[in-house]
Chain A
Amino acid sequence: MGPETLIEEIRTRLGDAVEGVSDSFGDQVLIVRPVSLRGLMASLRGAPFDYAVLLDLTCVDFTAGEGRFEIVYHLYSLSRDVRLRIKASVRAENPVVDSLVGLWKNADWLEREVFDMFGIAFLGHPDLRRILMYDGFEGHPLRKSYPWRKEQPRLPLKD
């Protein structure tokens, strides 16, 4: 399945979910609607696409607009040796996305990291709590709205 036929196939099977298609250094990029994310990912996980590996799951904060956050998924197919990037815009006021832990197990910690750093809630995640920052840390440090240089020390600091 070449890149063009792949996109054709995805469009015919999952057309409703796909908002746009682009290309990044030879790798295909899909821009999708977040509501249909879970179903789309489940289809991509199975045959004939067979994206068995979730390489990465991360988030970008674009500071302004309705779709302020953008979740980025990187998939890899072992059988076909191709990568696919999937992006979904998330609303600023209530950032919620479906969890993918049921599809790829490594999504567990990746989603916890995105939750910790950006405050995106993952619906259906088995254990959504902070993974990097300590207990008592307030806010989500990689959000652009997090105050610059704001520290939350656990010990009283000397001058």
Chain B
Amino acid sequence: MSGFDFLTTRLETALGWGRKFSLFHYPFITACCGMEYMSAACAHFDIDRFGAGLTRFSPRQADLLLVVGTVSHKLAPVLKTVYDQMLEPKWVIAFGACAVSGGIYQNYAAVQGIDKIIPVDIYIPGCPPRPEMVLDGLMKLQDKIQHQKQDWRWARKP
């Protein structure tokens, strides 16, 4: 291992550490799972303890997209636009059974999981998921962020 490799490895670790504890999340809330999101975000469970406390209501300022609730085909282009507006690096959590797979809705209206439209990093099942599950999913995402290849602007692209 050359000295440069050692340096970039350290830098990647530092970047991962920084990124996983400074998640600005954009809540895309469409349905009843929003209640669980609220309880996870507010003082009782306090998502801020895990470094994801800063809610942004503009996708341009966010790097974590929380898709909470059912997404219908009518809404699908909106979700796609919101995702496209977010800056890299960005991550997506599918929150609740409807966002994961369409849930109980298998009909003309509902998208059968948001991974049909946008890439998803973490799936949190449940109808709705308990806040503990949300925090567990968040910690799994942080683990993923820490160990993934960090995309940084001045890195040499293959």
Interface residues in chain A, defined as those with a beta carbon under 8 Å from any beta carbon in chain B: 132-134, 141, 146, 149-155, 157-158
In the docked arrangement, what's the CA distance between A141 and B111, Å? Answer: 15
8 Å CB interface, B63-86 against A: 73-74, 76-77, 80
B106 within 8 A of A: yes
B116 within 8 A of A: yes
CB distance from A138 to the nearest CB of B (A): 10
Interface residues in chain B, defined as those with a beta carbon under 8 Å from any beta carbon in chain A: 73-74, 76-77, 80, 106-109, 111-112, 115-117
The answer to whether B107 and A153 have CB atoms under 8 Å apart is: no
The answer to whether B108 and A151 have CB atoms under 8 Å apart is: yes
The answer to whether A157 and B117 have CB atoms under 8 Å apart is: yes
What 6 pairs between A and B have smallest CB-CB spacing?
A141-B108, A157-B116, A134-B74, A155-B76, A153-B73, A158-B116
CB distance from A144 to the nearest CB of B (A): 13
Q: Which of A146, A149, A150, A154 has the most CB of B within 10 A?
A: A154
Specify which of B80, B109, B112 is in contact with A141 (CB 8 Å cutoff): B109
In the docked arrangement, what's the CA distance between A153 and B111, Å? Answer: 8
CB distance from A148 to the nearest CB of B (A): 8
In the docked arrangement, what's the CA distance between A154 and B106, Å? Answer: 17
Residues of B within 8 A of A151 (CB): 73, 108, 112
Additional pairs, 14, CB under 8 Å, beyond known A154-B73, A154-B77, A157-B116:
A134-B73, A134-B74, A141-B107, A141-B109, A149-B107, A150-B108, A151-B112, A152-B73, A153-B111, A153-B116, A155-B76, A155-B117, A157-B117, A158-B116
Minimal Cβ-Cβ distance residue in A for B79:
A155
Residues of A within 8 A of B76 (CB): 153-155
Ordered by A's residue number, 23 sampled pairs between the chains whose C-beta atoms are within 8 Å are A132-B74, A133-B74, A134-B73, A141-B107, A141-B109, A149-B106, A149-B107, A149-B108, A151-B73, A151-B108, A152-B108, A153-B76, A153-B116, A154-B73, A154-B74, A154-B77, A155-B77, A155-B80, A157-B111, A157-B116, A157-B117, A158-B115, A158-B117
In the docked arrangement, what's the CA distance between A153 and B109, Å? Answer: 9
In the docked arrangement, what's the CA distance between A154 and B71, Å? Answer: 12
Residues of B within 8 A of A155 (CB): 76-77, 80, 117
Q: Which of B73, B109, B112, B115 has the most CB of A within 10 A?
A: B73
CB distance from A157 to the nearest CB of B (A): 4
Residues of B within 8 A of A141 (CB): 107-109
Residues of A within 8 A of B80 (CB): 155
In the docked arrangement, what's the CA distance between A152 and B108, Å? Answer: 7
Residues of B within 8 A of A133 (CB): 74
Residues of A within 8 A of B107 (CB): 141, 149
